[in-house]
Amino acid sequence: MSDQFTPQDPTAQYGQPDTEGQEIPHPGLTGEMESRPDHGEESYRGTGRLEGRKAVITGGDSGIGRAVALAFAREGADVLISYLEAEEEDAQQTVGLVEGAGRRAVTVPGDITDERQCRRVVTRALEEFGRIDVLVSNAAYQMSQDEGLLGITSEQLDRTLKTNLYAMFWLCQEAVPHMPPGSSIITTSSIQAFDPSPHLLDYAMTKAGIVNFTKGLGQQLVDRGIRVNSVAPGPVWTPLIPATMDEDKVETFGKQAPMDRAAQPAELAPAFVFFASQESSYITSEVLAVTGGSPIV
């Protein structure tokens, strides 16, 4: 039969990205990467699981956010993406993927470390869509520090906390009153919440906070019929990696996973679709690890 399923070895489905010598300026653009990530452009096939949904995705310009935007659109959702103004080039490529799936794409550039920008994101979604069915808090900031605790400046700590924690809190606080029963909030945590790398101390701390927030908010919003869950990636090949790590760390990135490679963004998107859809209707306050075999506890 022409549509016969062909099994694939997950350790070999994607080879380790060619990371040698790759370092790019922060915040990092996909076009600057020599080894481009796979967002599912050729592989993701939707089945209507999010038909008619209205979704907001922060950090939706590239990496995991782009893969989620693409998957949501191919599942039938209209999508609003927020991103830094410096990432406009990447954002427009994501817009093309969403519109190519026949769905609406709305863009809101700006820095979500500003509470007012978080409120603008929600306000724009309501103006364009009338409601929010899925909120994906995905945007994140990290900067590797080999000096560890002593190398983290107050400026870096402030930016990391505001991007990863404050913005998530502000977005949820603003969006929840406009989310109908059956809606879903999805946070992006990390294996760093459970197994922190010393050179990412402040980033790992925020990811642990995201896990705790997800578990608490999920219980709090049960009476509203809103579910809250988190996807915890392991190493994923996105522009953030060569833009925030030195050459040596980039070259070995992903080798720590039992599968001996970094994930591609396309491999994360199905987990977000699962949490956004009614297929996960009895799941809230949960964390789903997509880590290539590294356990979380």
CATH number at residue 264: 3.40.50.720
What pTM does this model have? 0.92
H helices within the chain, ranges in order? 10-13, 63-74, 88-100, 115-129, 154-161, 167-175, 201-220, 240-244, 247-251, 269-276
- Find the domain containing 193 and state its range: 47-290
Residue 22's pLDDT band (boundaries 50, 70, 90)? low
Residue at 125 is within a domain: yes
Residue at 55 is within a domain: yes
Cis bond before residue 27 (omega within 30° of 0): yes
Q: Evaluate if residue 28 carries a pLDDT over 80.
A: no
H helices within 130-246, ranges in order? 154-161, 167-175, 201-220, 240-244
78 against 247, higher pLDDT:
78
Residue at 23 is within a domain: no
Greatest CA separation for the chain: 61
Number of structural domains (the chain) is 1
Helix (H, G, I), strand (E, B) or coil at 184: strand
- The set of long-range contacts for 2-7, using a CB threshold of 8 Å and a minimum separation of 24, is none
Residue at 131 is within a domain: yes
Residue at 15 is within a domain: no
Task: Determine which of 23-32, 70-79, 164-173, 281-290 has the lowest per-residue pLDDT on average.
Answer: 23-32
Residue at 73 is within a domain: yes
Taking residues 92-100, report their average pLDDT: 98
Please give the positions annotated as active site.
203
Residue at 9 is within a domain: no
